[in-house]
Amino acid sequence: MTDTPTPKPGKVLVPADELRGFAAALLEKGGLRPEHARTTADVFVWAALRGVDSHGTARVPAYLELLAKGVANARPEITVESSTPAVAVLDADRAPGPVALTAAAEEAVTRARASGVAAVGVRRTVHTGAIGYYVSKIAEQGLIGIAFVAGMPNMGYSGVKGAAVATSPLAVAVPAKSHAPLLLDMATATIALGKIRQARASGTPLPEGAAATEDGTPTTDPDRAVMPLPLGGAKGSGMSLAFELLTSVLVGAPIFAAFHSDDPAGRKHRQNALLIAIDPAAFGDPAAFTAAVDATLTTLKALTPADGAQGVLYPGERSASVAERRAGEGVPVAAKVWRELTESAGRFGISPPQVSA
C-alpha cells in the first residue's frame, strides 16, 4: 500500500468520488457486502457534501465499531412483509440504517407509482444516518418523500426527570421544476448531542434552554450537560413520542416502553422508521405541481429580507448550494476524522486517496 497521508492541522479536502470509494472500501473490509458498503458510503458522503459533517464520513469509524461488536448485522437477511399494495413493513434484521432505509425508499416509490401513496415501515435497523438522504432519493423520482425515525431515549421530556424520549427526526422532500427540492430535515431536539460534545471540548457555553444535566435540570455548562432538551419544550417532546407511535409501535417493535422497563434487553441499540412516498400524479398534473412548487419558492425568495439578513432561503437551499460547491472543490474532512480513517485503512491494507490541505 502507499504511504498514508499525514493530516495537517485543520481539515483536508478529498474529492467526493474518491471519498465515497474510500469509505465504501473501509465498510466492505468491516464486513458489509459490496453493494451495502457502497450504499452506506453514499449516504455519508451525501451528508458531508451538504455540510452535515456530523452525519458524514465521521460516522465511518463508528459504523466499523458497530459492525465489529455485532450491534449492526453485516450480513442481514432483509425481508418485506405486505398485506396491501400501498403498505409494507421491512424487517431490517439489524442492518445499518443506510442499507435498510434506502431499500425502504425504493419500495415506497415502487408502491406509490401504482397506488398514488405508499408507506413503508422499517423494523429493527441500526443508526439511520441523515434521513434527508432517503426522502431526497424519493424526490429525485418526482415524488414527495416524508420520513420519521424513532430511536433510543436520549432527550428530556417536559415534566420528566432524566432522559425520556429520543431526538427523533423528521424529514420532508418536495420536488421542484427549476429550484433545488425543498428539503426539511430536523430533529425534535433544540441541539444535537454532537454540539454538546463540541462545546465541551472548546469550553463554550451552551445556549439557554438547549441542554440539561442527568436529572433534567437545564444548564448552559457543557461539562454538566449530558442530554439535549426538546425543541419548543412540550412541542418537541410530544413530536418525539408521536414518532415512536408512528414507527416503533406501528411496526410491532416498541422502543420507548421496553427502554423504560426492567428488561436489560430494552436498552440494546435499535431504531425504527416510517417512509412515505406521495405521487403528485395521483392528485393532478405532476408538471403543474412542480411548476407551482417553483412559483411558491420563487415568491418566498422575493419577499423583503429582514434587517441584517443575507437573503431569504427555503429549507434545503443552503445545503444544496454547499453540495454544489463541495462537489467541485472537494469535501472537507476534519484532521481527527481523517486520522481515524487512515488508521483504519492501514489495518485493512487499503490505500487512502490523495488529499489537499
Residues 17, 253: Cα–Cα separation, whole Å: 37
Residues 227, 156: Cα–Cα separation, whole Å: 7
Return the ∠ at Cα 58 (arms to 26 and 140), rounded to 5°.
85
How far apart are the two ends of the chain, measured CA to CA in Å? 22
Residues 6+ apart with CB under 8 A from 192: 54, 167, 228
Q: Is the C-alpha dihedral spanning 106, 112, 115, 118 positive or negative?
A: positive
What Rg do the C-alpha atoms of the chain give, in angstroms?
21
Residues 299, 345: Cα–Cα separation, whole Å: 49
Residue at grid coordinates 415568491? 299
Question: Which one from 55, 127, 260, 269 is the annotated catalytic residue?
Answer: 127
Sequence-ordered strand ranges (E) for 187-267: 211-212, 218-219, 227-228
Dihedral angle at the C-alpha atoms of 190, 196, 202, 207, nearest 10 degrees?
30
3-state secondary structure of 120: strand
Residues 183, 199: Cα–Cα separation, whole Å: 27
Within 10 Å of residue 90's Cβ, how many Cβ atoms? 26
Q: Is the C-alpha dihedral spanning 164, 167, 168, 174 positive or negative?
A: positive
Tell how many helices (H) and how many strands (E) occur in the chain.
11, 12
**127 is known as an active-site residue:** yes
Which residue, 250, 69, 244, is CA-closest to 153?
244
User: Which residues are catalytic, by number?
Assistant: 127
